[in-house]
Chains A and B, each alone.
Chain A
């Protein structure tokens, strides 16, 4: 009896979370049913297929390039010893703190026809005009793919590396004894074992890519996100915009379902609960240098170079770029990020725990529902959040009117709106990281806990959470940094005079004057480094 009760309690938690977080999306989809299909059929006849193709190519490209960067990096830092490994292991996460639109801006400035590199080449070789030579064009689809992958690969790297670290060495050692080369062992043992983690990482990357507008817009690549904004702001049709958002979500949903179906009968659990701190291979000579060089190159292009350019601007424009209110902006950013961080982690723990213990059908649905917000472009999400919140506020005012109360815009006019939007948007990240960690805990531990008379709540707090420590830290780190960087939702939903570092940067970036925003842009990176350092230290201490 008591089991039944408690089960339904967890079920209630999970479903309430799922339903609340999917509410904005439902309002938006409801909006899409309000008729007027003219705009949509016009798009269908003209540019929609170009957009769909660009979107798919972009996502595919970003997934391939970030895998090519993140998987080898994750494997060598988890299993191999080479010069600088300890430092690289955390430094390779640094690009996370870099907003995509900033890296896009910096690289365009460098590699553009009018940028210093091409100008120098022209001076050097005496070329006169663009017809005299060939140089890759950065403002293209491939350019956008590389930019986005440089910033997003750390998701995959982090989740994959954590998975490898928690994997049992015994299997890899066994594969070695059976004569597999390190490469084959990586391909045939580590990769399949970490498949869930890889998919989780790539799913995050895909969703983030799909939602990106700033970068593709700057690179003049038209994607479905472009179509969403065109229809909404150009044709004044939120309906058609909502429809296109619906298509995007459907694509994503199908992809995730397909993946889940393809490994329906696999489950991988860890027998050991500890973490491997020693390494398997000790690289020497050429291979050691190759490994270090690879890490260096990624780090240089994804982080050091853009930061150097920003620093350069910051010094050159110091008097114009400095603003006395910086500390206030930084504090506002920090406050919002920290609150959202705590909320998403608690919610994702509840939902993933329910998935684990559920005996009912469809245990995955609440988590899937709650995760959909991540793929919506920021401004569209902001509108989607406004729909239910303003409706609630309106109702509330009507109800309270007879009592002489008029709370005004209690939810939509305050920080609540931003925080809610962030939770809707970034829940998926926390869920992905926590779920990946949870899947590796053997169910036998749950049984043991249960047989010792512990309740499910006690199992969660006493057994699972300590084992999930890394997953939780990873989730917290990712969500925090994302919140620091997030722009469109904060911009549109903020109360009067509320400025974060990101919104401050945007007023200049929107005018293509990054020079004047260089100091705030650097601060975003800097504040993002704090949790990175703390999380890394905390992970080190344990191992």
Chain B
């Protein structure tokens, strides 16, 4: 009995053997998205990487682990998490000439507390048959009565939609945004549900004519033989080209305050902002690289150039809680 107990305890608290110089990562992004880039990093530098992936709660984990945390980096899939990590004082400044050269100033924190790695546009997809391309469309138009019963979207509370609503507040103020949200809700063909791909699928099936969705999903669907027919049924539109430009969100990275291995972690960040990795983000994940001049995937390039909303991300991010509040007030998801 005692032996068994000892073995049990040994099994549970035996710390996992991690190489001393390895970079440890908490990732909000799915491993299958980042593993190819990490593998390439290991191949080039000989530095191992270890990953814990979760969709929720990693920020709380870093916070509670405090100075004993073994995480060196946190990878996020949207900018509100980057800003949140910074606000909770869980990050340290990334000081690197290479990074500063690779990443334009608007895509990193002034003090280097966070760095964006890739951009994605919040596009509006329109049915090829029933709508055609909508070059002049704006996000504001989605509330127009003429689109009643024609719009599909995922939950209003998903970070991608929250980011969009926060940017509307930043541009138009609270009252006008609430009105806009009420208009959008009135235009919904169905209760918000599913992910961004599911909305395009619904357009293909004729359930709605317009759908909100991130740019890279479109590229990914075209590559997937089973989903290509969905993507083929829609046009991709970049809203607000006539004025402020399309809303963009970013994925990014922070170095944790108590990183045990800041040198190698910095090497990985530099690697991720450099041509090779930026190119992989573009070609494998169909995202827009933050580094200027990195070639887009030919598919993404074929969607054409566009103007992006130039409002700084932390300007938008501070309206996140208010955006959620408005979404609750208009009962967007109910």
Cα distance, A238 to B84, chains bound together (Å): 14
Contact B157 A507 (CB under 8 A): no
Question: A394-B66, A510-B30 are contacts. A414–B12 as well, Cβ < 8 Å?
Answer: yes
Cα distance, A488 to B61, chains bound together (Å): 13
Contact B56 A233 (CB under 8 A): yes
Contact B193 A414 (CB under 8 A): no
**Residues of chain B lying within 8 A (CB to CB) of residue A387:** 64
**Residues of chain B lying within 8 A (CB to CB) of residue A46:** 328-329, 331
Contact A409 B70 (CB under 8 A): yes
Contact A390 B66 (CB under 8 A): yes
- Interface Cβ pair total, 8 Å cutoff: 151
Question: A222-B334, A492-B57 are contacts. A414–B70 as well, Cβ < 8 Å?
Answer: no
Contact of A414 among B14, B195, B206 (CB under 8 A): B14
The reply on A410 being an interface residue by CB < 8 A is yes
Cα distance, A393 to B68, chains bound together (Å): 9
**Residues of chain A lying within 8 A (CB to CB) of residue B133:** none
A397-444 contacts to B, CB under 8 A, are 397, 408-416, 419
Contact B16 A220 (CB under 8 A): no
Cα distance, A47 to B331, chains bound together (Å): 7
**Residues of chain B lying within 8 A (CB to CB) of residue A415:** 11-14
Cα distance, A206 to B32, chains bound together (Å): 35
**Residues of chain A lying within 8 A (CB to CB) of residue B70:** 408-409, 413, 496
Interface size on A, residues (CB 8 A): 63
Cα distance, A515 to B202, chains bound together (Å): 19
Chain A 481-513 per-residue mask, 1 if CB under 8 angstroms from chain B, else 0: 000000010011111111000010011101110
Contact A512 B197 (CB under 8 A): yes
Cα distance, A238 to B191, chains bound together (Å): 28
Contact B12 A339 (CB under 8 A): yes
What's the least CB distance linking A234 to chain B, in Å? 4
The reply on A229 being an interface residue by CB < 8 A is yes
The reply on B46 being an interface residue by CB < 8 A is no
Interface size on B, residues (CB 8 A): 56
**Residues of chain A lying within 8 A (CB to CB) of residue B52:** 494-498
Contact A416 B12 (CB under 8 A): yes
Contact A238 B60 (CB under 8 A): yes
Chain A 78-115 per-residue mask, 1 if CB under 8 angstroms from chain B, else 0: 00000000000000000000000000000000000110
Contact B206 A129 (CB under 8 A): yes
Contact A234 B324 (CB under 8 A): yes
Cα distance, A387 to B64, chains bound together (Å): 7
The reply on B36 being an interface residue by CB < 8 A is no
Cα distance, A386 to B66, chains bound together (Å): 12
Contact B333 A220 (CB under 8 A): yes
The reply on B69 being an interface residue by CB < 8 A is yes
User: A114, A379, A419, A503 — which one has the most chain B CB atoms within 10 A of its CB?
Assistant: A114
**Residues of chain B lying within 8 A (CB to CB) of residue A130:** 206-207
Contact A497 B197 (CB under 8 A): no
The reply on A128 being an interface residue by CB < 8 A is yes
B3-35 contacts to A, CB under 8 A, are 8, 11-16, 18, 24, 30-32
Contact A512 B324 (CB under 8 A): no
Instruction: Please give me the residue from chain B that is nearest to A339 by CB atom.
Output: B8
B298-326 contacts to A, CB under 8 A, are 320-321, 324-325
The reply on A335 being an interface residue by CB < 8 A is yes
Chain B 159-199 per-residue mask, 1 if CB under 8 angstroms from chain A, else 0: 00010000000000000000000000000000111110110
Cα distance, A482 to B32, chains bound together (Å): 26
Besides A379-B57, A411-B13, A506-B55, 19 new A-B residue pairs in contact (Cβ under 8 A), listed by A number = A42-B325, A130-B206, A139-B194, A220-B155, A220-B194, A222-B334, A230-B157, A230-B324, A390-B64, A409-B69, A414-B12, A414-B14, A492-B54, A496-B24, A497-B52, A507-B31, A508-B30, A512-B197, A515-B226
List 27 contacting pairs A-B, 8 Å CB cutoff, sorted by A: A47-B331, A129-B206, A139-B191, A139-B194, A220-B333, A230-B324, A230-B328, A234-B162, A234-B324, A238-B60, A335-B11, A339-B8, A342-B8, A379-B56, A383-B57, A390-B68, A393-B68, A409-B70, A413-B68, A415-B12, A491-B54, A495-B52, A496-B18, A498-B16, A508-B30, A512-B194, A512-B195
The chain B residues found within 8 Å of chain A, CB to CB, are 8, 11-16, 18, 24, 30-32, 50-58, 60-61, 64-66, 68-70, 84, 155, 157, 162, 191-195, 197-198, 201-202, 204-207, 226, 320-321, 324-325, 328-329, 331, 333-334
The 7 closest A-B pairs by CB, nearest first: A220-B193, A496-B50, A114-B205, A234-B324, A390-B64, A416-B12, A46-B328
